[in-house]
Structure 1
């Protein structure tokens, strides 16, 4: 059961990353994701845009180095799920790839320096990243653990960590990209 939960989450992530929808991930797919994320930063916020770009490049190198089992320069869904479970979620790799993106994203979005995202900011962010507002609004309600109407940096980091690391099918972070029961 727990392996199925992670496979579902990573399959959802794969669909999100597969920007051209061809069933495999390429460097171009991750570059397009990078551009979406960078587009959330203000034009003059070069530091956070660069941090996100560098983290996505780290992630791509991890996928290619540890996941491209057939050496074709592309990552299939099965390769992606395997490398996510074994390597990307390794604590050192997770911090330098996934959480580095989260931290730069929060800094970029926190233009008023209040250290939180409102529901409208959160929904707008995920809408720009291609996640339907109906899913991100539902996710926000689950992720706002203290019920104060905003997500702190810590709450957002917890949600991301749950999505990638938790075996619990009921973990709130599982909702980041929408429901997991969607068909592949």
Structure 2
């Protein structure tokens, strides 16, 4: 069962994934996110790199398909998917999802391939996903728990986990996707 705080944060994430803002998430949203991310990374169409980006975003959609009807996922269906994913009985599946999610973020945004996400690279994530960029510096500061000016995979795993599972309104990971407090449910 999701808590009210989890519902608020996960609804915020749903609104980010609803790229065309039509109230549902569908394959076209994930394709648009992939295209946007390819533009941010300066990846040309019809290249192997472009196909990798599109496969990553389409892969996210493929995991949601069993939970949607008629190719369109409502917010309630998204929350049902997240409820199943976050159920303690599914801990191993969740850990795999968490690891895959963070690995995808690093593949997409660790542009210099140094094993860290810089603030500039993190801002690119916000731009690529059309998240209000004004929240990026505050989000980055919150996620950079050791204050070394970069996000390690361990910091990202902890942050994503806090975003998904924490019921603490002050958890640093709540800022993963920016201004979740202002999100409307």
> Are 1:48 and 1:105, in contact at CA under 8 Å, matched by a contact in 2?
no
CA distance 1:128–1:61, change in 2 (3 Å): closer
Is 2:126 the counterpart of 1:126?
A: yes
Tell me by how many angstroms 1:143 deviates: 0.7
Match of 2:161?
161
Which segments of 5 or more consecutive residues in structure 2 lack a partner in the other structure? none
The secondary structure found in structure 1 opposite 2:180 is coil
CA distance 1:139–1:72, change in 2 (3 Å): same
> Are 2:117 and 2:150, in contact at CA under 8 Å, matched by a contact in 1?
yes
Tell me by how many angstroms 1:132 deviates: 1.7
Q: State the superposition RMSD in angstroms.
A: 2.9
Instruction: Measure the CA separation in 1 of the matches of 2:37 and 2:86.
Output: 19
CA distance 1:134–1:21, change in 2 (3 Å): same
Instruction: Measure the CA separation in 1 of the matches of 2:51 and 2:110.
Output: 13
> Are 2:122 and 2:140, in contact at CA under 8 Å, matched by a contact in 1?
yes
Match of 1:60?
61
Is 2:148 the counterpart of 1:148?
A: yes
> Are 2:144 and 2:151, in contact at CA under 8 Å, matched by a contact in 1?
yes
The secondary structure found in structure 1 opposite 2:151 is strand
Match of 1:22?
22
Instruction: Measure the CA separation in 2 of the matches of 1:27 and 1:163.
Output: 24
Tell me by how many angstroms 1:48 deviates: 8.9
Which segments of 5 or more consecutive residues in structure 1 lack a partner in the other structure? none
Match of 1:43?
43
1:58-78 Cα deviation digits (max 9, x unpaired): 43233221x22xx32211111
1:77-101 Cα deviation digits (max 9, x unpaired): 1111111121377445445555424
> Are 1:55 and 1:100, in contact at CA under 8 Å, matched by a contact in 2?
no
Tell me by how many angstroms 1:49 deviates: 5.9
Tell me by how many angstroms 1:14 deviates: 0.9
Is 2:74 the counterpart of 1:76?
A: yes
- Aligned pair count? 180
> Are 1:119 and 1:140, in contact at CA under 8 Å, matched by a contact in 2?
yes
> Are 2:111 and 2:121, in contact at CA under 8 Å, matched by a contact in 1?
no
TM-score (norm 2): 0.80
